Structure 1
Amino acid sequence: MKFVNFKIEDKKLIGVLANDEDKIIALNDLYADKTFCCMQDVIEQLNEDDIKDIQTKLDDENNDFKSYKLSEVKLLSPIEKPIHDILCVGVNYQAHLEEASERAKNFKKTSNDAVYFGKRAIKIIGTNEDVQACLDIDNALDYEVELAVIIGKTGKNIPVDKVEDYIFGYSIFNDFSSRRLQLKHMQWFKGKSLDTYSAMGPVILHKSALPFPVEVDIKCSVNGELRQNSNTRLFLNDIPKVVSELSQGMTLEAGDIIATGTPSGVGMGYKPGKWLKSGDEVVCEIPPIGKLINKIK
């Protein structure tokens, strides 16, 4: 089941893709007794029985719910205004750890412990929205395709074997990064937090659609050139460990976004670096979820 945040004319709505994925049905039409103004409402209000009920309605060939053609709407980021800074996992693939260590001489990772950091996002852009690149501040602009985990219910000190219970679903995240700012400030927050440097979409895939732990292909292309190509089974720290560890002594809330790290092939890893420039098109793909497409302005 794929949840979307979309705009038609001047109206924003939350919906689900029909089984043929050519149409969207607004959740407010499926549930007249509930109000869904944003994806946060969906995450907080829908339980597992509701999810099954929605799927039953979608499977009913005789349903007469109002629908919108996907080609006639504008898809927005599933979550435009995150409730907190995005929780990020750094260097979570061995090959990316190696390329990062090679290119950033001041970065040395000496243990298997996960690297965590925050990324500020006043607004997350969606698929087919432009990145307003701050190339005057730093022209070493890079891409990072990542699997995003959306927390489904609030929890603290979550056991590893209970993590899936606290997940709502998954999306594609592009962690755009200004590499020279990262080096200048000796940490990653500023270089990753410029406006429009967070992109997510095109949908949130409900967790019921994927086996757990999640093992999916993950790719990124720039102007049609495949740059990143891996699978989440190669995580150094998998989703159960990451979510459980983050929650130790720190509350995770419904709607929190965890970006689980990027594989090798980022622009920084090339010699010379393959930095993004105005006019470039970046396509991130995780097949069960879809494609996240952004152009650089």
Structure 2
Amino acid sequence: MSVIGKSEAVLSQIERYIARVMGGASEGNTFLLDEFQVKYGPCVTHPGKIICVGLNYRKHAEETNATIPQYPILFNKFNNTITAHSDEIPLPNRVTSQVDYEAELVIVIGKQAKYVSKEQALSHVFGYCNVNDLSARDLQIRTQQWLLGKSCDKFSPIGPYLVTAEEVGDPNQLTISCTVNGETRQSSHTSDMIFHCDEIVSYISQHMTLSPGDIILTGTPEGVVLGKPVDQRVYLKHGDVVTIAIEKLGALTNRMVDEQI
């Protein structure tokens, strides 16, 4: 746990708490839980706004033969997409056969932001987490609006942790990856973002008020199924286990299952 900027009194409380937890563990008490037996909830439960940035990694734009955007491409998702680490994700096979993974860094707003400068933008951020911005590609490209392919139920698992901004430091100096059944599909770095996190927060705040609890999905790096030649595209199927890992933020894992209605 970072102690930068904390008072001596708070440090003393933290030290006592750590000692109590570790002492309880040695005595066989239940201060510590087996991580694999913990049931997680979404690390942000009810975001007021879910704002997404499309084509925000240079190599991802290149792999999909897209023009490098001059402004952040914004779209939105809804709360029905929010779910947690270790939850199963239903693949809506009645309407799509092309569900793709997208490893992304999430910005979680902690202080109201309106017309903030790039220099002040990150002071309005509470912290960061992982998300898998699942995307039904056939629905996404059916029209010019991407929303339909992005907003199926549980298409935004987030977590497992919400890590404070002071713990993370520079959000554009983090490794980011996605594995499917243990095979690395995406391996990149947040420095490849076309628009960095401070630019994103500042840009959005020029057009709408960002409120505490709002989340911003900052785009995905190269390596998605859509970026492969058509004859090599193998989309997610029942039983696939997808893990999104970002430096300092832990690993978000979910299993895909056929939807049962």
Answer whether TM exceeds 0.5 for this pair: yes
**What are the equivalent positions in structure 2 for 1:160-239 lying under 5 Å apart?**
160-239=118-197
TM superposition shift of 1:70 = 4.1
TM superposition shift of 1:55 = 5.9
Q: Is the 8 A contact 2:58 2:68 kept in 1?
A: no
Q: Hey, what's the Cα distance between the residues in 1 that align with 2:10 and 2:159? A: 21
Partner of 2:106: 148
- The 3 A distance-change label for structure 1 pair 56 and 295 is farther
The answer to which of 63-72 and 234-243 deviates more is 63-72
Partner of 1:69: 33
> Number of matched residues?
245
Q: Is the 8 A contact 2:118 2:202 kept in 1?
A: yes
Amino acid at match of 1:216: L
Partner of 1:124: 82
Q: Hey, what's the Cα distance between the residues in 2 that align with 1:118 and 1:53? A: 42
- The 3 A distance-change label for structure 1 pair 166 and 136 is same
Partner of 2:251: 291
> TM-score, normalising length from structure 1?
0.76
Partner of 2:208: 250
- The 3 A distance-change label for structure 1 pair 129 and 189 is same
Matched, 1:57 2:35: no
Partner of 1:78: 43
- The 3 A distance-change label for structure 1 pair 70 and 246 is farther
TM superposition shift of 1:155 = 1.6
Amino acid at match of 1:268: L
**What are the equivalent positions in structure 2 for 1:269-280 lying under 5 Å apart?**
269-271=227-229, 272-280=232-240
Partner of 1:97: 61
- The 3 A distance-change label for structure 1 pair 260 and 139 is same
Partner of 1:268: 226
- The 3 A distance-change label for structure 1 pair 268 and 217 is same
TM superposition shift of 1:88 = 0.5
Q: Is the 8 A contact 1:167 1:207 kept in 2?
A: yes
Q: Is the 8 A contact 1:82 1:123 kept in 2?
A: no
> TM-score, normalising length from structure 2?
0.86
TM superposition shift of 1:237 = 0.3
Matched, 1:138 2:102: no
- The 3 A distance-change label for structure 1 pair 186 and 73 is same
- What is the RMSD of the two structures over their aligned residues, measured on CA atoms? 2.3
Identify which of structures 1 and 2 has the higher relative contact order when contacts are C-alpha pairs closer than 8 Å and 6+ apart.
Answer: 2
Q: Is the 8 A contact 1:81 1:123 kept in 2?
A: no
